[in-house]
Structures are given as C-alpha cells and as structure tokens.
Amino acid sequence: MHRKIIHLDLDAFFCAVEALRDPSLNGKAFAVGGRPEERGVVASCSYPARRRGVHSAMPMSQALRLCPGLLIAPARHTVYREMSRQVMARLHALTPLVEQLSIDEAFLDVTALAEPGETLAQRLQAAINRELKLPCSLGVATNKLIAKIANNVGKAAATGDAPPNAITVAPAGQEAAFLAPLPADALWGVGPKTAARLAELGIQTIGDLARWPEADLARRFGKHGADLAQHARGVDQRPVITQREAKSISSETTFARDVVDGAELRRVLQAQAAEVAGSLRKKQLFGATVKLKVRWADFTTITRQVTLAQPTDDDGPLYAAANRLLGNVWRGQPVRLVGVGVSGLSSGARQLSLWDKPDERAERLAQAIKTLRARFGADAIQRAGELTALDDI
Ligand SMILES: [Mg+2]
C-alpha cells in the first residue's frame, strides 16, 4: 500500500487572472508587478515573457531591458486572494487533506480515494480550467517530494507561449528511477552552496547522489546529508499537513471537586485517550503529537506534549504518552482539569493493519461510558480494559 499525493500549482497565476480581465493580453509578453520608476519588482510574468528571460522577483527595470515592450499590469491582490480561495475550495471538495503552501500551490493527500491519482488530477485540472478559466499544473506521486519535483519537471518541459497546464506522474515503485537523471539541485534543500559542494565530489545528478554512501553524506552534511540520501532514493515520509493541525482533536474534563487520586486521574486520561482515538478513526486520521493539559487548583494551566515515533489512531499509545507526561508534572497536588489532545494530523501515515480498522462497537462503548460518567461521575463505570491498563502505573 502506498500513498497518493498530488501537488498543484497554478500557471503564472496573477497573469492568468489579468488575462481573464483583459483577454488581449493572451499570448503577449507581460508582467504583473510594480512600475520600474518606482523600483518595482516582477510578481508574475506571462510565458512569452519567460521565454525572453524574465522571471519573478526580478526588478521590473531589468525585465524591461530583457524584454523591450513588456506590458505591465499592476497587481490586484484582493482579486488574486479571492480566486485562490475558489481554487482551494475545489481541492477541499475532493479531500479535507489539503496543505496550502502559498496563494497558488497546494499538496493533496488522496490516498483514501478509490480512483488513481492521475484520474483525480485530470478531474481537478478540468474543473479549474472549466469553472475558473485558470491553467494549472499537477504532479502525482507517492510522496510530497516527488509530486512537487514531478510537477516542476512537467512544467519545465512545456514549450511555446501557452501555459503548461501539465499533469506529470511519477509511478509508484519507480520513484528513484524518476529522480535519477535530474540535476541534484532539483531536490528540496539543495541550494547553490550544497550543489557546489556536491559537484566537487563529482555528484551532478540525483542518481549520483543516491549511489553515494549515505554514511559519507551524513559525515559531510550532518542531518541534512542523511535527508539528502533518503530523498535521492525517492524516500519522503512527510505527511500532508492540513490547517486542522493548528486545532487539535482533544477531550478534557473539569472536575466538580479537585482530584488528588492518581488512579482516578489515570482513569479519566484513559477515557479521554479512547475518545480522541475514536474521533481520529472516525475521520480516518492519525495523530503524531500528544498533548496533556492540566489545570491546578489555583487555575494555573500547563500543557506538555510529546511526538510519537509513529502517528496513531489507537487509544493505547495515546494513553501511554499522556500518562507519561502526567508522571512528569504531577506530584500529588490537587487537579482541577485534565485533558488529552492530538495534533499533527495526517492520513495514511503508516500501513493500515487489521487493528486499525474503525471498531463501531468500541465507539459506541466509549460513547456510552462518557454519557454515564457525565451523568453519574467518573467512578460510575469502568471498562475491564481500563482496570487492566492501570496495573502498569
Ligand atoms: Mg504558480
């Protein structure tokens, strides 16, 4: 089982929006940005302008020297933001797992959808072309690194004056082969300095880098070297991080009376971990970071968090982590509130096993326990499993 990741980037976005307003700009060399006499900079430039050496972030005066007759349109950021919102809404209609990188760029994790990544990419592109009249390019791969590189490759391969509107697929299982012929600086994190140091070693392509001993790269470049070795082999585990990461899924309980009994605190933590895990499973998400919140009798509130080695949607690791965090801060003082949360939400962050299947019975049980506790207090009911798990305190 592998992930399906799409990278989407609008083609010369600001220019495309300006050409919608004024279709006579189509096919012409023009740029969006500030005026040269005001030391303006190119924010976006049309493909005919790019063919003549103009690129974004270039001073407009230089762009005009390279491309005499270059037309200049002032930027209308409010309009671009509104168009961007409409594009992102179409991505969110496909999956909630959207990581927006900038105004015109995003990753999507479509692993949970049945159709092939390429089909979904075609559908998205068609919708954005047809409904918003904007060209866009997409890269499809099994991870973020390769999806983005694939998209860059597809866009760079386009010739002529039309926007690329490309879809480029790096097939599953062929990640390393796809990367091998590309220059080393096509990898994220390889800037001119690193590229120069690699070139001194005779490393020109990503394939050269993949063949170089990993230990030697780690020795020369530290942690960055180890990452380079992994990335050059097409390995990238980074999850698509949604806006929801900022929020977390959590459960907290304010006690009617301050609690000083460790066993009771741990029982509550375990019920909370079960509830949070249930929400994760229902949403088909995994959480990477576990957060414990504790409020003391004097209303001071502390939070402690830990990132798990493996993202999870299972009560066990959530409870174990929360319990450890509690052990670090609790010395028998009265507790007014306790809560467990997870963040760093992602989908398909690990292989699914039978154990990870949502279990409706467990859901209903957790819900029933919660209801009973709300009505009769935390001691009203305990699951056998909770009692067993408390043995390791
Ligand atoms: Mg773009």
**The domain that contains 201 carries what CATH number?**
1.10.150.20
281-285 average pLDDT score: 81
Residue 348 pLDDT level (bands cut at 50, 70, 90): low
Tell me the CATH number at 35.
3.40.1170.60
Q: Which pTM does this prediction carry?
A: 0.64
Tell which of 232, 256, 273 closes a domain: 232
Let me know how long the chain is. Answer: 393
Is residue 334 domain-shared with residue 196, that is, in the same domain? no
Is residue 208 domain-shared with residue 299, that is, in the same domain? no
Q: Please say whether the beta carbons of 135 and 161 come within 8 A.
A: no
In three-state secondary structure terms, 368 is helix
Q: Please say whether the beta carbons of 204 and 185 come within 8 A.
A: no
Pairing of strands 301-312, 167-169: unpaired
Quote the domain boundaries for residue 48.
13-77
pLDDT for the residue 339: 96
336-353 average pLDDT score: 71
Taking the centre of ligand 1 as the mean of its atom positions, its distance from the CA of residue 313, in whole angstroms, is 35
Contacts (Cβ under 8 Å, ≥6 apart) of 85? none
Q: Supply the angle between the helices 214-221 and 192-200 in degrees, to the nearest 10.
A: 130
For 167-184, what is each residue's pLDDT tens digit?
Answer: 999 999 999 999 999 999
Reference 158, options 168, 149, 166, 167; nearest CA is 166
Taking the centre of ligand 1 as the mean of its atom positions, its distance from the CA of residue 16, in whole angstroms, is 10
Which listed residue (99, 105, 275, 386) is catalytic? 105
Residue 385 pLDDT level (bands cut at 50, 70, 90): very low
Is residue 258 domain-shared with residue 303, that is, in the same domain? yes
220-236 average pLDDT score: 93
Taking the centre of ligand 1 as the mean of its atom positions, its distance from the CA of residue 80, in whole angstroms, is 12
Q: Please say whether the beta carbons of 184 and 200 come within 8 A.
A: no
Is residue 250 domain-shared with residue 226, that is, in the same domain? no
Most confident of 4-13, 218-227, 250-259, 339-348: 4-13
Report if residue 89 sits inside a domain: no
Is residue 382 domain-shared with residue 277, that is, in the same domain? yes
Is residue 268 domain-shared with residue 378, that is, in the same domain? yes
Report if residue 322 sits inside a domain: yes
Residue 373 pLDDT level (bands cut at 50, 70, 90): low
Report if residue 342 sits inside a domain: yes
Report if residue 327 sits inside a domain: yes
Is residue 338 domain-shared with residue 375, that is, in the same domain? yes
For 10-33, what is each residue's pLDDT tens digit?
Answer: 999 999 999 999 999 999 999 999
Mean pLDDT for the chain overall? 87
Can you tell me the distance from the alpha carbon of 10 to that of 173, in angstroms, rounded to the nearest whole number?
Answer: 27
Whether residue 271 is predicted with pLDDT greater than 70 in this model: the reply is: yes
Taking the centre of ligand 1 as the mean of its atom positions, its distance from the CA of residue 44, in whole angstroms, is 9
Is residue 223 domain-shared with residue 248, that is, in the same domain? no
Q: Please say whether the beta carbons of 121 and 140 come within 8 A.
A: yes
CB neighbour burial string for 336-349, b if at least 16 within 10 angstroms, e if fewer: bbbbbbbbbbbbbb
Taking the centre of ligand 1 as the mean of its atom positions, its distance from the CA of residue 213, in whole angstroms, is 35
pLDDT for the residue 365: 53
Please report, as a single letter, which amino acid is at residue 266: R
Report if residue 115 sits inside a domain: no
Residue 354 pLDDT level (bands cut at 50, 70, 90): very low
Is residue 262 domain-shared with residue 379, that is, in the same domain? yes
pLDDT for the residue 248: 77
In three-state secondary structure terms, 161 is coil
**Biggest CA-to-CA distance, the chain:** 81
Is residue 277 domain-shared with residue 228, that is, in the same domain? no
258-268 average pLDDT score: 94
Whether residue 223 is predicted with pLDDT greater than 50 in this model: the reply is: yes
Residue 392 pLDDT level (bands cut at 50, 70, 90): very low
Q: Please say whether the beta carbons of 273 and 304 come within 8 A.
A: no
Report if residue 41 sits inside a domain: yes
Tell which of 27, 53, 77 closes a domain: 77
Q: Is 275 a catalytic residue?
A: no
239: left (phi over 0), alpha (psi -120 to 50) or beta: beta
Place of tokens 């801060």: 329
Report if residue 273 sits inside a domain: yes
Reference 308, options 253, 270, 346, 359; nearest CA is 346
- Percent of the chain topping pLDDT 70: 87
pLDDT for the residue 343: 86
Tell which of 28, 50, 77 closes a domain: 77
Tell me the CATH number at 332.
3.30.1490.100
For 73-110, what is each residue's pLDDT tens digit?
Answer: 999 989 999 999 999 999 999 998 999 888 899 999 99
Q: Please say whether the beta carbons of 273 and 322 come within 8 A.
A: yes
Taking the centre of ligand 1 as the mean of its atom positions, its distance from the CA of residue 135, in whole angstroms, is 10
Is residue 203 domain-shared with residue 337, that is, in the same domain? no
Taking the centre of ligand 1 as the mean of its atom positions, its distance from the CA of residue 2, in whole angstroms, is 27
Is residue 190 domain-shared with residue 324, that is, in the same domain? no
Q: Kindly report the three-state secondary structure assignment for every residue of 215-238.
A: HHHHHHHCHHHHHHHHHHCCCCCC
**Residue 266 structure tokens:** 């741990």
Q: Give how many domains the chain has, as a whole number.
A: 3
pLDDT for the residue 381: 45
Taking the centre of ligand 1 as the mean of its atom positions, its distance from the CA of residue 209, in whole angstroms, is 28
pLDDT for the residue 359: 44
